[in-house]
Amino acid sequence: MRVNIFTKIQLASNEIFAKGKLKRPSFVSFRGSGFILFSLFLAIILLALNFSCRRHQPEETFSLSLDTLLDKIKGGWVGQLIGCAFAAPYEHKFQSSLIPETEPFNWSPRYLSSLFEKSPEIFDDLFVDLLFLDTLNKKGLNIQPKELARALSRAQFALEHGLQMARHNILIGLKPPRSGHWLHNPHADDNDFQKTADFIGLISPGLMEPTIKFGRRWGEIIASGDGLYGGIYIACLYSLAFIHERPETLVEEALKILPAKASFTRTISEVLENYRRFPENWQQTWQIIEKKWGEDIGCPEGVFKPLNCDAKINAAWITIGLLYGRGDFARTITITTRCGDDTDSNAAASGGIVGTLLGFKRIPAEWLQGLKEVEKFSPRGLDISFEEAPSISLKLALENIKKNGGQINGEKISFPLKKNIPPLPLEINFLDHFPRERRELNLRLSEITSETTIEFEGTGFAINGRIIKRVPEDHTYRVAMVIDGRLAGASILPAHPFLQNPTPFFHYKLRPGKHRLFLQIGEPSPKADIELKEIIIYDKKPAK
């Protein structure tokens, strides 16, 4: 006869009381409701014990050899170099549009080295990767964000958009996370963090928790909201490429740590969904994503224009390349490049990720021609070269593995795989701020005309402009920004190209309605003028 769990509990309890081991409580009756409550109580205890045992079962571990780890790390760095060089000629030349098949792509044995000789600044995104890696190598994994921020502020090469805005913010005293927050950085939703986050995944092989932790702490120097998610997503793709073989799995797993309601997550999820609907037609997926998600609302240079530096759309093109490339190096970077927009940054990421997936030894030989000539290159002001990056990354990766419960036994490396990691909290940039108007200003502040007034209606604004040197030496202006009769702040505008403020004037979260903006130079000088090109105006409702 089959005996259920409650009958077993009752028989065992009766036996204990019958042998006098326990005194039967007066309130316990094994008949009727009393027995049912007692049985349920014991059953809950048993279930809790069973659940506790499951939780304390040994974690799943992953093992690989030291040689394989280094090979994958080197594949990641080399893949970035190749992808960046391959796609550099098309950077932002095909804005919000596909590069047609009639446009030929070129690659030759001397292509990589000749590009470095002529235009090394093309690789500026990778320079930031090296900058952060070099700083980590000197300071260790416990480095504080302010130390990386300081290193970024002192970089001796040009930066753009969110990176340049972050540098400017740091130099005027705004520390992370304020330096990357959208209220202080209009480029917070741009793809600046995701195109410099590769190193995080390369020093965190298969270690998702450290990847996310580092991504949050270090990414807030540059970005917030979707811009932050973009960097963490890319770093996770790299990390997962050490332990998985299929690009589709990388995307599936990386999506799990992003907040489901974020527009970034929804965009990438729809890329994956449409890849499964149209597995042989990446152009169809591109059309669907561009139509729904292709409008940039944050970057002042891109609002109401084809230029798109938005994190989610450029991450979508990286993802399309990875999914439809299916692990083939050439196909991956080719598809990513043909998606257009920020081609060099995007192809550097997809090339780096697939390079990590394959490992250096499996990257086809025709792509490695000219590599030796550029590996020894060190960006100005840095004590690190591309040749040294893999070995330094390996050193940091091994340290990271040990800190997170892994073991290194000779040539064998093993580490636990953390599962059920909770998703990141939701953060939305430009909440209730919708671009309403882009208006030409064509104004100039100078020694002669040191003040101006601009009227607008909305909840926020951003002004595109620049400081124009009239003499060789550098000059810095302080410009008072008064909104509706109240001092809202002062913009500091250095003339030095490495220090310039990419968006000189902006302010958000104003009360809805009409506003009067008054700008005045503190100390007019004949050394420089300030050009005000156009104003982007935000409101609580989207433009019709």
> What CATH number does the domain containing 216 carry?
1.10.4080.10
The pLDDT tens digits for 161-186 are 999 999 999 999 999 999 999 999 99
Same domain as 386, residue 355 = yes
Which pLDDT belongs to residue 14?
45
Location of structure tokens 């320079």 = 127
Co-location of 350 and 453 in the same domain: no
Q: Which residue from 76, 57, 50, 67 is spatially nearest to 416, judged by alpha carbons? A: 57
Q: Please, what is the angle between helix 343-358 and helix 311-325, to 10°? A: 40
- 367 in the same domain as 449: no
The answer to whether residue 450 sits within a structural domain is yes
Task: Answer yes or no: do 319 and 454 share one domain.
Answer: no
| 45 domain residue, yes or no | no
* CA–CA separation, 149 and 448 (whole Å): 37
Percent of the chain with pLDDT over 90: 79
Domain for residue 304, yes or no? yes
**Same domain? 265 vs 187:** yes
Task: Say whether both 73 and 109 belong to one domain.
Answer: yes
**Domain contains 544:** no
Q: Report if residue 50 sits inside a domain.
A: no
The residue out of 363, 383, 416 marking a domain boundary is 416
In this structure, the answer to whether residues 306 and 232 fall within a common structural domain is yes
Which of 37-41, 61-65, 283-287 is predicted least confidently?
37-41
**Do 536 and 303 contact (CB within 8 A), yes or no?**
yes
Q: Is residue 212 part of a domain?
A: yes
Strand 505-507 to strand 434-445: parallel, antiparallel, or no bridges (unpaired)?
unpaired
In tens, the pLDDT along 83-120 reads 999 999 999 999 999 999 999 998 988 899 898 888 88
Domain that holds residue 479: 434-539
Is the predicted pLDDT of residue 516 greater than 60, yes or no? yes
| Percent of the chain at pLDDT exceeding 70 | 89
Do 493 and 406 belong to one domain?
no
Last residue of some domain: 358, 386, 416? 416
Distance CA 450, CA 518 (A): 11
Query: Do 148 and 190 reside in the same domain of the chain?
Result: yes
Q: CA-CA distance, 537 to 532, in Å (whole number)?
A: 14
Answer yes or no: is 53 within a domain: no
Does residue 214 have a pLDDT over 90? yes
Cα separation, 141 vs 133, in Å, equals 10
Q: How far apart are CA 84 and CA 122, in angstroms?
A: 8
What are 427-440's pLDDT values in tens digits?
A: 999 999 999 999 99
Is residue 55 situated within a structural domain? Answer: no
For residue 349, the surrounding DSSP H or E stretch is helix 343-358
pLDDT of residue 48: 53
Beta bridge partners of 409: 412
In the DSSP assignment, the letter for residue 190 is B
Distance (Å, whole) CA 213 – CA 372: 34
User: Running DSSP on this structure, what letter comes out for residue 58?
Assistant: P
Verify that 150 and 209 share a domain, yes or no.
yes
User: Residue 446 and residue 526: Cα distance in Å, rounded?
Assistant: 7
Q: How far is CA 242 from CA 249, 341, 377, in A?
A: 12, 28, 27
Q: What is the CATH number of the domain that holds 488?
A: 2.60.120.260
The answer, yes or no, to whether residue 28 has pLDDT greater than 70, is: no
419 contact partners, CB below 8 Å, separation of at least 6? 59, 60
State the pLDDT at residue 57: 47
**Number of folded domains that form the chain:** 2
Which whole number is the average pLDDT over 123-146?
A: 96
Same domain, residue pair 82 and 186:
yes
Sheet with 407-409, edge to edge strand ranges: 61-65, 412-416, 407-409
Is there a single domain that holds both residue 136 and residue 256? yes
What is residue 47's predicted lDDT score, i.e. its pLDDT? 54
